[in-house]
């Protein structure tokens, strides 16, 4: 399993942002195999964690046409900056 860690400094977020974000989450889960997606915002800091079965799913999601449009909107309107990290999860423990 893999995790994609998205960290961003946000600008002003409008209703279109939330609509696009929800749609992207639905598409990632329903069409690309995203296992779980969680995002939190505190002030101008946002972090989103998405879990994926493999790197191929992540690459397919990254290059999806609607996701590319959302990425461009993010750069132009909603994000001051962002960082994306992809990591392999070798173990998981739960209680």
Fold of 2-88: Alpha-Beta Plaits (3.30.70)
Quote the pLDDT of residue 15.
Answer: 93
Reduce the DSSP state of residue 38 to 3 states and report it.
strand
Quote the pLDDT of residue 48.
Answer: 97
Tokens in use for 89?
Answer: 């999860």
**Cβ proximity of 48 and 37 under 8 Å:** yes
pLDDT, tens digit, 9 for 90 and up, residues 23-57: 999 999 999 999 999 999 999 999 999 999 999 99
Quote the pLDDT of residue 74.
Answer: 96
Share of the chain above pLDDT 90, in %: 98
Q: What is the mean pLDDT of the chain?
A: 96
Q: Parse the chain into domains and list their residue ranges.
A: 2-88
Q: Of 72, 74, 77, 68, nearest to 48 (Cα)?
A: 74
Compute φ and ψ for 92, nearest 5 degrees. -145, 135
Tokens in use for 36?
Answer: 């779980």
pLDDT, tens digit, 9 for 90 and up, residues 67-91: 999 999 999 999 999 999 999 999 9
5: pLDDT confidence band, cut at 50, 70 and 90? very high
Quote the pLDDT of residue 92.
Answer: 92
**What is the DSSP code string of 28-79?**
HHHHH---EEEEEEETTEEEEEEEES-HHHHHHHHT-HHHHHHHHHIIIIIE
């Amino acid at each position: 399993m893999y995790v994609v860690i998205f960290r961003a400094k946000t600008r002003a977020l409008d209703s279109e942002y939330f609509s696009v974000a929800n749609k992207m989450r639905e598409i990632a889960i329903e069409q690309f195999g995203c296992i779980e997606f969680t995002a939190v915002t505190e002030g101008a800091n946002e972090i989103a964690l998405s879990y994926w079965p493999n790197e191929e799913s992540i690459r397919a999601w990254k290059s999806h046409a609607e996701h590319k449009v959302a990425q461009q909107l993010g750069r132009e309107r909603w994000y001051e900056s962002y960082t994306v990290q992809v990591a392999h999860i070798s173990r998981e423990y739960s209680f």
